[in-house]
Each structure stands twice: as C-alpha cells, then as structure tokens.
Chain A
Amino acid sequence: MWVYEKKLQYPINITKPDARSAQIIITQYGGPDGELGASMRYLSQRYTMPYKEPAAILSDIGTEELAHLEMVSTIVHQLTKNLSLEEIEDSGFAPYFVDHTVGIWPQAASGVPFSSSTFQSAGDPVTDLHEDMAAEQKARKTYDNILRLIDNPEVIDPIRFLREREIVHFQRFGEALRKVQDHLNEKNFYAINPAFDLNPHQGK
C-alpha cells in the first residue's frame, strides 16, 4: 500500500503563468514517455519479478515515479492556474481549455490521451528490464527537449531535477538486469523465462 505525504519531492514555485510551456510539459504527465506510464509500467511488472533485489527496484522506482507525476502535474497547474482568457486564446491553449478548463488531465503534448499501450508488462524479466532502461532514456530525452523549449528558470530547475532522476533510474535498472542475469545460464540468457518456466505448474 501507499501512504501520502503532503510534500513535493523537490520544491516548485512558479510565479508566472505560461500556457505554451504547460502544453509542452503536460506530456511528461500523460504522454508516451511520461511519469504516469513509467510508474504504471514498473508497478505492473513487479509481480512476475522472481528475484528480490530487482523486485525492490521496481517497487521503489515505481513509487518515486508517483512523486514525479505529482511534480509534473504541479508544474502544469502552477503554469495555468492564473491564466487570463486572453492568454488562453493567444497561446493555443483553447483546445485543451474547452474540455478541461484548467484542470489536470493526463495527455500527451499532441492531445493524445494517456494509454497503457505506451508500455509493456511482459512477464519476462529480461524483456521488462530492457524496456525499463529504454523508458528512462526516452523520458530523459523528453526532458532534454523540454529544456530546449523553455526559458523560465522557475520551470527549468525542477525539470532538471526530474531529468537527473531518469539517469539514476537507468543505472539502477541496469544493475537489476545484471542481478537477473546472474541467475540465468550465462551462455544463453534466453534459455528460460525465470518468471514462468521455473514454476513447476507452468514450466515444460
């Protein structure tokens, strides 16, 4: 289970509304490489992780991602909460506004709604951990692109923090993959799926 703390992982205090930046950054909430997908990916994959250290990493990084989607949502909220109607019309925010006002809804920057089709839970530890490492790089790439598009230091600061965490998580998933491979046949990591074939009820 989870216990909520009324506290951000990293401080965010944005004083200037900016609908254009909000429309870009919302992609890290509900977009294809965003924090919601990251959290759901790891928290879904952990059930079939047969080894204890990698299962801990999936649980704990999946939990940290919940703190990150709260940070991204907070950035979008603070960028939009004091928008004037004129700013909404001039910034291209009207198509979002007409459906959601200034509520927070998980979508990509393109407007595509959040979908679990952006991630896998394959029930195969080697597959899942490779996906997780790729996911951290994809999120790092999105943060790099966000940093190319925004210039407000109050927004840049927490985005840099989030970008840095992707790199740390990539490292930890790499270590988790090595732990899994330590349990496998070193001449053929793919000889079995340890999440399925070692179960006497399921394996051949």
Chain B
Amino acid sequence: MAMTEQQNMMRRLQVQSFVLTDVQLYLDTHPDDPKALECYRKYRHLREQTMADYVNRFGPINSMQVESDSRWTWVDTPWPWEGTV
C-alpha cells in the first residue's frame, strides 16, 4: 500500500525525533561531547522544520499547536494507535 504524503512526513518526523531522543540520552552521560552536541543541534533544527510543515498541513501534534480561531482542532487529528498515520 502506497504511503500518503501525511504518512511520509510523519515518518520523517519520527526519524528526526528518534535521532534526538537517542542523542539526548547519550548526552545525559556525555554532556561535553562536541560531536553529539553538533548532532543534537542539527537534528533539532531539522525536526523544528518538519514539525512546522506537518502541523501547518495536517494539524496539531500537541495541544499547544492549535491555530484555528473557530474550532479546537486538537480533537480532529488522528490518535497514534489508529494506524492511519
């Protein structure tokens, strides 16, 4: 089954978020490692861009990202267990 554009963008967000999760744990025990800090900075930037694009096109991933003045769109975006994105 071909992936939708939303699924593709969600995969990118998951990959970039995962890199950050992993490097954050590494930095917890190696807080002075310059290469890990560089990786953290790079992926934080990439993730910020992907997150902004995703939210702009497909709606909020967390409840601080609701932009509509007419509807609380937090309730409309899919729940992760539904397997749709």
Contact = CB atoms under 8 A, between A and B. Distances in A.
Interface of A: 3-14, 53, 56-57, 60-61, 64, 70, 73-74, 77-78, 168-169, 172, 175-176, 179
B13 to A, nearest CB: 7
Given A9-B18, A9-B21, A172-B28, A74 B61 contact: no
Nearest to A176: B29
A152 to B, nearest CB: 14
Interface of B is mostly: helix
B55 to A, nearest CB: 11
A53 B29 contact: yes
Interface string B33-73: 00000000000000000000000000011111000000000
Contact of B80 (A7, A56, A179): A7
Given A9-B14, A10-B14, A60-B25, A53 B31 contact: yes
A61 B25 contact: yes
13 contacts: A5-B62, A6-B61, A7-B10, A8-B81, A9-B14, A9-B21, A13-B83, A53-B28, A70-B81, A73-B81, A168-B25, A172-B26, A176-B28
B29 A7 contact: no
A64 B20 CA distance: 12
Given A9-B14, A9-B17, A77 B29 contact: no
Given A6-B60, A6-B62, A70 B80 contact: yes
Contacts of A172: 25-26, 28-29
A3 B64 contact: yes
B47 to A, nearest CB: 11
A14 B13 CA distance: 20
A168 B22 CA distance: 9
B59 to A, nearest CB: 9
A193 B72 CA distance: 51
A60 B14 contact: no
A67 to B, nearest CB: 8
Contact of A6 (B21, B22, B31, B78): B78
A82 to B, nearest CB: 11
Contacts of B81: 8, 12, 70, 73-74, 77-78
Given A53-B31, A78-B81, A7 B61 contact: yes
B80 A6 contact: yes
Contacts of A60: 24-25, 28
Contacts of B14: 7-11
A169 B80 CA distance: 24
Contacts of A9: 14, 17-18, 21
Contacts of A176: 28-29
B25 A57 contact: yes
